[in-house]
Amino acid sequence: MNQLEAVVGGATIPTAAPSKRRPWRLLGHIAASVSVDVVLLAAFAHAGIVSAVVPVLYALVTGCSILVFYILLRSDWSQRRRDPALTRSQLLVSSLTVMGFSLYCEPLAFYFLMLLFMAFSFAALRLRLKQMLTSFVLVMLVGTIDRLWLGTHLEIPGATPTEQLLGWLAFASVLLRCCMIGWYGNRLRRTLHQRNRELADASQQIQYLALHDSLTGTLRRTPVWNLIERQCGLNIFSVAMLDLDHFKQINDRYGHAIGDDVLRRFAETVRDVIRPGDVVGRYGGEEFLLLLPGANADAALAITDRVRRAVARHDWARLAEGLCVTVSIGIAGAALGESARSMVDRADQALYAAKRHGRNRVLLYRSPTQFEGPAGDSVGE
């Protein structure tokens, strides 16, 4: 499993290795197609339409060209080319081969020229439109010289029922192979679509993991910090710092697995209580930041006290017998021209004041020595 698979939970992402092997598999398909041609040519030779030399010579010429391309594709030389699969070269060699045999074996010229359909169909899987058109023009020029200047004729054997049957089989074999090439191209498109979808899903998951804490599902520290900085100087808002009381003791007594469950349940409880536009992020360890857009001091006290009461009422004993979890919360309201750092520091001071005065409580920062609770009670330092 590569690093990307590990990050996104095993999503399969295409790598360079399959693309390097694919040209060899295409050569295997081409060799299988050539074998069909050799069998048909042998049948034509057996029927007396062409010489027995034709299938042997065709097998030797095409076999040698396949072997040469196989060696080139296995070498590093082809990988340094703009087209590592040597598709255009294979197309030209294949086209010249079948056109040469159409000259050499006029009774089967129609069959050899039909093979151009397969050659161009294979090439269309890899070549760009400009490359295809230039190759087409070149092959057509050669064909024009062949037909007009040399005066060769296109013939379709059909004098006897055997010749008609073989001619039909030849046509059917070419049509079937063109259909198979089309199916192969469609399979490649489906595979590419699937890989693109997997890549998009992996990209979304990576983006999610970059912004969210994997344990609690809340925002990470940096994204929530950026949101606070963006709010500074724009609107009325408040920031709250939340810290689970005696969390180290929970880990020591019940184990880190239960501690992780506590953090997850705590984050879920907070999300259930806060308003739709509020944002919660994990600040570090058992500390969380809560951004409350549009909330003045009174609203922030009311919201965070609901959070505190919801956490205290939660059935923590379902995780472990005797487990009890509470949270202390410090709040800071936005001040004109204040930075995010200063605002979070004030919320942190209010948090530690809440811890010093009994925990499981909410305090709002009023001054370095004065803090206020939800009921309007003041706490001095």
Rounded to whole angstroms, the Cα distance separating 277 from 237 reads: 11
> Do 180 and 253 reside in the same domain of the chain?
no
30-34, 35-39, 70-74: which has the highest mean pLDDT?
35-39
The answer to whether residue 52 is domain-embedded is yes
Q: Which of 142-151, 171-180, 188-197, 300-309 has the highest mean pLDDT?
A: 300-309
Expressed as residue numbers, the domain containing 203 is 3-207
Say if residue 176 is in the same domain as residue 283.
Answer: no
Residue pointed to by tokens 């699937």 = 194
Check pLDDT > 70 for residue 153. Answer: no
Q: Which residues pair with 331 in a beta bridge?
A: 240, 364
Radius of gyration of the chain (CA): 38
Q: For residues 216 and 16, what is the distance between their CA atoms, to the nearest angstrom?
A: 36
CA 235 vs CA 62, 139, 231, 239, 334: distances in Å? 77, 71, 6, 12, 8
**194 falls within a domain:** yes
* pLDDT value, residue 23: 56
Residue 365's DSSP bridge partners are: 371
- Give pLDDT, residue 152: 61
Measured CA to CA in angstroms, residue 93 lies from 69, 79, 87, 123, 125 at distances of: 10, 19, 10, 12, 17
- pLDDT computed for residue 359 by the predictor: 93
Q: Could you tell me if 233 and 341 lie in one domain? A: yes
The DSSP bridge partners found for residue 5 are none
313 phi/psi in degrees, rounded to 5: -80, -15
Closest CA to 270 of 295, 246, 301, 242: 242
138 in the same domain as 98: yes
Residues 160 and 232 in one domain: no
Residue 355 has pLDDT above 80, yes or no: yes
Domain match, 239 and 129 both? no
The residue from 207, 238, 271 where one domain ends is: 207
In a domain, 334, yes or no: yes
Q: Is the dihedral of CA 8, 14, 16, 18 positive or negative?
A: positive
User: Are 124 and 23 members of one domain?
Assistant: yes
The domain boundary, picked from 148, 172, 207, lies at: 207
Number of domains observed in the structure of the chain:
2
Between 37-46, 147-156, 219-228, 257-266, the lowest mean confidence (pLDDT) is in 147-156
Which CATH number characterizes residue 333's domain? 3.30.70.270
Q: pLDDT class for 27, splitting at 50, 70, 90?
A: confident
Assess whether 126 and 270 both reside in one domain. no
Task: Quick: pLDDT tens for 5-17.
Answer: 333 333 333 434 4
Tell me, yes or no, whether 46 and 189 share the same domain. Answer: yes
Q: Is residue 195 part of a domain?
A: yes
Residues 193 and 142 in one domain: yes
- Catalytic residue numbers, as ranges: 286
Q: Which residue has the higher pLDDT, 1 or 244?
A: 244
Residues 100 and 226 in one domain: no
Within 10 angstroms of residue 217's Cβ, the number of other Cβ atoms is: 14
Highest mean pLDDT (candidates 20-29, 85-94, 277-286): 277-286
Residue with tokens 């939340």, as numbered in its chain: 242
A 10 A CB-CB count for 21 gives 10
Domain boundary among 143, 172, 207: 207
Q: Is residue 213 part of a domain?
A: no
pLDDT in tens, 105-117: 888 888 888 888 8
Q: Distance (Å, rounded) from C-alpha 174 to C-alpha 169?
A: 9
* CA proximity to 19, closest of 132, 125, 117: 125
Percent of the chain residues topping a pLDDT of 90: 44
Taking only the tens place, the pLDDT of each residue in 250-284 is 999 999 999 999 999 999 999 999 999 999 999 98
pTM beyond 0.75 = no
